[in-house]
Structure 1
Amino acid sequence: MSALPLLDRHLDHAVPASRAQRTWTPSDGPLPSIYLSHGAPPLLEDGTWMRQLFDWAHGMPKPAAILIVSAHWESAPLSVSGTAAGTPLVYDFGGFAPHFYRLQYATPDASALARRVAGLMPDSEPVHEHRHRGLDHGAWVPLMVMYPLGDVPVLQLSLPTHDPDRLLDLGRRLRPLREEGVLVVGSGFMTHGLPFLTREHWTGGGTPPAWSADFDAWAAEALERGDVDTLARFATEAPGMPFAHPTVEHYTPLFVTLGAADRPDAPTKAVIDGYFMGLAKRSIQTA
């Protein structure tokens, strides 16, 4: 018996469906930009969450490529992951069962996308390639659920700052990629107050902490209004702070997603909501 029976069950359905998924063509128009809450390896033990992510991916044409900014690669100057096919994954987590460290997600060569990303940046901000850095778990965990065949080139872009205005500007530079069938992804977690979870939350029970529910409701309302200015003032205005985000790297990829939208201040569509171990897994799609 597999150590991850729910993942196996998911793949039994998702793999044949992915083979039949229609690939993006220019007649489809630009793909959206998305922000997803990626969880951690235990996402692969949550059948409902995996189904939600896969259904989301399957509701769009299969991208020509994926560019993903993850909470788990904070690095300046701006950098991209290794572009070679099958670059080894980064197992950037600790304390989990051994089988999580044996998971593989080999994707095709992404060098064309890396060149395109570099070409969108100003001369004053060259993009460095970390040739041996693979995808971290903020990228490969959700993507192996959404695109289980591993047949889409994936490039990871570092998170070079937490300043909302600078990240919105970065997203704007990436906006043309959507017209080329590239799915632009910000990967984080709408609340991430791990130090403040109780034992009951860690074991999968209990109601969400007030700081998580309050922050999530605040963010949901601002996103529905397209109120980017309010979202950018999260550190001083959002309820639940600083418990919801004692460090902010799981929230700030949202601004890359919003910046890549046709209109960053347009209302967004919540595709996934609810909670995992008390943390808000709200995930959104822009136009």
Structure 2
Amino acid sequence: MATHYPSLFISHGAPDFILTRDPAIAALRMLGKRFPQPRAVVVISAHWIRQPIGVTSGETQPTIHDFSGFPDELYQLTYPAKGDPLLARQIVEAVTAGGMESTPVADRGLDHGSWIPLLLMYPEAAVPVIQVSLPSENLQASADLGAALMPLREQGVLIIGSGSSVHNLGALNREARIAPWASRFEDWLQTTVEGNRFDELLDAQQLAPEFGTAHPTPEHFAPLAAAWAAGNQTSPGQRFHHGFMYGNLGMSMFEFH
């Protein structure tokens, strides 16, 4: 019988995160060892927003270096994961059945929101990977997507939402000073998720303290709504890692059962 995996929300940090000694490196490596190897991994990344919802359907998944201005070492890294065209077709059908438009995309690979954490979790790239686009930055639409994907967890598929718990690039600092507003937002986020307040999460733009500062644009927050709905939106999640990179880039991670 297939393992019934949780769904996960992962903060993937800045692109050069993988070249650092940030504590989240160890957290992701340990995460890849906590569960039996999944049949496949499905990732919803902040860096692919598309309507109709796109589902990577190629036999191979090219590594997309969707960033600039970083050390050459980062551009030499690749993650040669295979795809799973049959599973991709199943996902398109499930998303469509959930009332959303969806289409296979054969010529797209994995952006850094997918391949960087997976390189740490499953460095051998032996697990097939499919990336699914965010439908938009709308939190309810992201939750609807996650709910449509939820049955995959019973088929040995690990579902990951990849974004950042706090994502304000204009507020980063190399001195690693954490601003009070960033800490307040992280506290609210932990209380909301572990307190089982899914409706409040969907209304975060109105309810969360200083949401507009923590997320000037919501695309790095939306994968959290998808991940929670793919787990069980009627049950609380659990934070298994917490921290900040470059001062105010939130690195919190949650799991949902």
Q: Which amino acid aligns with 1:250?
A: H
> 1:125 Cα shift?
3.9
2:202 aligned residue (232, 242, 257)? 232
Structure 1 partner of 2:48: 73
Q: Structure 2 length normalisation: TM-score?
A: 0.94
**Structure 1 residues 101-112: aligned runs within 5 Å:** 101-112=75-86
> 1:147 Cα shift?
0.4
Local SS of the residue matching 1:229: helix
Q: Which amino acid aligns with 1:116?
A: Q
Q: Which amino acid aligns with 1:229?
A: D
Do 1:40 and 1:137's aligned partners in 2 also have CA atoms closer than 8 Å?
no
1:269 aligned residue (238, 247, 250)? 238
- Measure, in 2, the Cα distance between the counterparts of 1:121 and 1:80: 10
Structure 2 partner of 1:256: 226
Do 1:36 and 1:188's aligned partners in 2 also have CA atoms closer than 8 Å?
yes
Query: After the TM superposition, which of the residue ranges 140-149 and 94-103 deviates more from structure 2?
Result: 94-103
> 1:176 Cα shift?
0.8
Structure 2 partner of 1:96: 70
Distance change in 2, residues 1:40/1:81 (3 Å) = farther
Structure 1 partner of 2:254: 284
Structure 1 partner of 2:92: 118
Q: Which amino acid aligns with 1:57?
A: G
Query: After the TM superposition, which of the residue ranges 100-109 and 121-130 deviates more from structure 2?
Result: 121-130
Do 2:168 and 2:215's aligned partners in 1 also have CA atoms closer than 8 Å?
yes
Structure 2 partner of 1:188: 163
Local SS of the residue matching 1:122: helix
2:154 aligned residue (175, 179, 193)? 179
Do 2:9 and 2:163's aligned partners in 1 also have CA atoms closer than 8 Å?
yes
> 1:126 Cα shift?
4.5
> 1:82 Cα shift?
4.3
1:221 aligned residue (163, 182, 191)? 191
Q: Structure 1 length normalisation: TM-score?
A: 0.84
> 1:210 Cα shift?
1.7
Do 1:67 and 1:182's aligned partners in 2 also have CA atoms closer than 8 Å?
yes
Structure 1 partner of 2:212: 242
Q: Which amino acid aligns with 1:83?
A: G
Number of equivalent positions? 254
Do 1:70 and 1:187's aligned partners in 2 also have CA atoms closer than 8 Å?
yes
Do 1:35 and 1:253's aligned partners in 2 also have CA atoms closer than 8 Å?
yes
Q: Which amino acid aligns with 1:121?
A: V
1:135 aligned residue (97, 106, 110)? 110
Unaligned runs of at least 5 residues, structure 2? none
**Structure 1 residues 17-166: aligned runs within 5 Å:** 25-26=1-2, 28=3, 30-47=4-21, 48-85=23-60, 87-122=61-96, 125-166=100-141
Deviations 1:77-115 (A, max 9, x none): 111124222x32111111111221121100123112201
Deviations 1:92-148 (A, max 9, x none): 111111221121100123112201102213366453222221100000011001100
- Measure, in 1, the Cα distance between the counterparts of 2:6 and 2:180: 31
- Measure, in 1, the Cα distance between the counterparts of 2:137 and 2:15: 25
- Measure, in 1, the Cα distance between the counterparts of 2:176 and 2:94: 46
Q: Which of 1 and 2 has greater Rg?
A: 1
Could you say what the CA RMSD is over the residues aligned between the two structures, in angstroms? 1.5
